[in-house]
Amino acid sequence: MSTKPLTGHETPGDPCCIVVFGASGDLTKRKLMPALYNLKALKLLPENFALIGVAVTESNDDQYREKITSDIKQFATREVDNAEWDDFAKRSYYLSGDFNSPDTFKNLSLKIAEIQKQWALPGNILFYLAVAPSFFGKVVEQLSLVGLTTESDDAWKRIIIEKPFGHDLASARALNATLSERVKESQIYRIDHYLGKETVQNIMVFRFGNSVFEPIWNRRYIDYVQITVGEQLGVELRGGYYDQSGVTRDMVQNHILSVLSLVAMEPPASISGDSVRNEKVKVLEAIRPMEPEEILANTVRGQYGPGIIDGKTVPGYRSEPNVNPLSNTETFVAMKLMVENWRWADVPFFIRSGKRLAAHTTQIVIGFRRTPLLLFGKDVEDNIMPNRLVIHVQPDEGITMDIHAKRPGPRVAIANVPLDFSYKDFGETSAATGYETLLYDCMIGDMTLFHRYDSVDASWRIVDPILDVWQALHPRDFPNYAAGTWGPEAADKLIEKSGHSWHHYFLNK
């Protein structure tokens, strides 16, 4: 696993053919193509590669090259070098076809064979499924029927699957059963783009690369953990998908629980592959699924009404395109989870996420316990916060440690002093989309940052009972927060009941 920005000093990925299903979609043009181009610019894409875009839209190789050339000008995150791009474009091909039709896969097989011959490529193939979830199983099934998933000693076949992996526990299990009839677990790369984010990967380096934090990383010193993923955006043009999903499925089941498990896991035996994934899944397994009455006490859901974001009035969720005007889908969630193991017993993990919140921010706050003795008087101590460590994931990347210091002067007055470390001051901030590391890791066969099925199953086991209770008890107060706020009041009450409050901490502000 790459635990620092990819610099180009690493060895390039294995020569391969990259097949992107969903080639005309948003994800492909905004994230995947810029990420592949960044890898090329960093000399991490193998010199010998070919790319095939597959989608239903009628087009041909030349038209496709024109399209990606115009898209990259718009979405590249670094300056595009003409010579590099020309090489990229000339190695790019297009196949139009319906994913339901076996002919598409027969044609794909022929096209791959032709391209492999033309470029003298080995048999390695990376399939990227940037398609609607209902196609995941079908595409893999069809690929296997035409022999495209069969590996040999010198030819790997790897499949990157986008989220969501299932709609609930039962459908995730069914999808996994379909996949495992066709391919091995070692071929399935379940992607989570949060794990491609620089500061998320830095959690491991921070914890296990410094000797000072790990000894205090437990219930004796840590009072609570908060994870906030706030978005100012609404559902944009994804109302159709989102209304069937909601924030718990969209963000908690995957991104947030995965970040939580990195924060809470035991030190792994090594930093790659299954060692890390073994430890992550143990954390999820230690979060006991809640009983209905616990769900009512420890979770809050919300839906945004109209409000103001950046000075502009925005509509409520129920008026968004492709959203049911009577929708009960939650666009905000807050919950208190308990990791019931020796390290974390009794330490609450508060998580919250929502659309149309007051700020775009992802941050992890580790709250430490107060000092055991109030040496400087209760009044002084009451006015200062116990130490906090804030890991800023986005938009600004960095880490803040809040410590206490004496204010200069004759009296004892204590102030909170933030020790800030910002990635911006640290050196080159990478022009990354977040997908580079993950695509690169797949090309070198490193699965550390991808979800293994047991962790997907474990996170559905946490989330499913909550969704069931919510489904049975329709919310009576939706919409219950105005766009541009921090969610419903009940979310504040939820955390206040435990004697805490949500932190909104901004780097460099």
Structure tokens at 119: 């470029």
Structure tokens at 246: 């909601």
Kindly tell me which of 124 and 331 has the beta carbon lying closer to ligand BG6: 331
Catalytic residue among 193, 255, 392, 451: 255
From the list 474, 5, 478, the residue with the least C-alpha distance to 196 is: 5
Q: CB neighbours (10 Å) of residue 181?
A: 11
Q: How far is the CB of 202 from ligand BG6 (least distance, A)?
A: 16
Assign 85 to helix, strand or coil.
helix
Kindly tell me which of 51 and 335 has the beta carbon lying closer to ligand BG6: 335
Q: How far is the CB of 357 from ligand BG6 (least distance, A)?
A: 12
C-alpha to C-alpha distance for 74 and 196, rounded to whole angstroms: 22
Cα 361 to Cα 84, 204, 229, 394, 466, distances in angstroms: 35, 20, 6, 6, 25
In the block, tokens 């990925």 appear at: 13
Q: How far is the CB of 394 from ligand BG6 (least distance, A)?
A: 6
Assign 469 to helix, strand or coil.
helix
From the list 451, 449, 468, the residue with the least C-alpha distance to 249 is: 468
15: DSSP letter? P
Residues of this chain that bind ligand BG6 (CB under 6 A)? 163, 193, 231, 250
Cα 141 to Cα 55, 97, 148, 171, 246, distances in angstroms: 17, 16, 10, 16, 28
Active site residue 255: yes
Kindly tell me which of 231 and 396 has the beta carbon lying closer to ligand BG6: 231
**Burial label, 468 (beta-carbon count in 10 A; 0-12, 13-18, 19+):** middle
Q: What's the distance, CA 430 to chain centroid?
A: 18
Q: How far is the CB of 413 from ligand BG6 (least distance, A)?
A: 39
Length of the chain: 509
Q: How far is the CB of 30 from ligand BG6 (least distance, A)?
A: 11
Q: How far is the CB of 250 from ligand BG6 (least distance, A)?
A: 5
Which residues fall within 8 angstroms of residue 14, CB to CB, at 6 or more apart? 46, 122, 124, 156, 443, 444, 445
C-alpha to C-alpha distance for 491 and 505, rounded to whole angstroms: 17
Q: How far is the CB of 192 from ligand BG6 (least distance, A)?
A: 8
The residue number with the shortest CB distance to ligand BG6 is 250
Q: Which amino acid is residue 314, in one-letter code? A: V
Kindly tell me which of 193 and 280 has the beta carbon lying closer to ligand BG6: 193
Catalytic residue ranges: 255
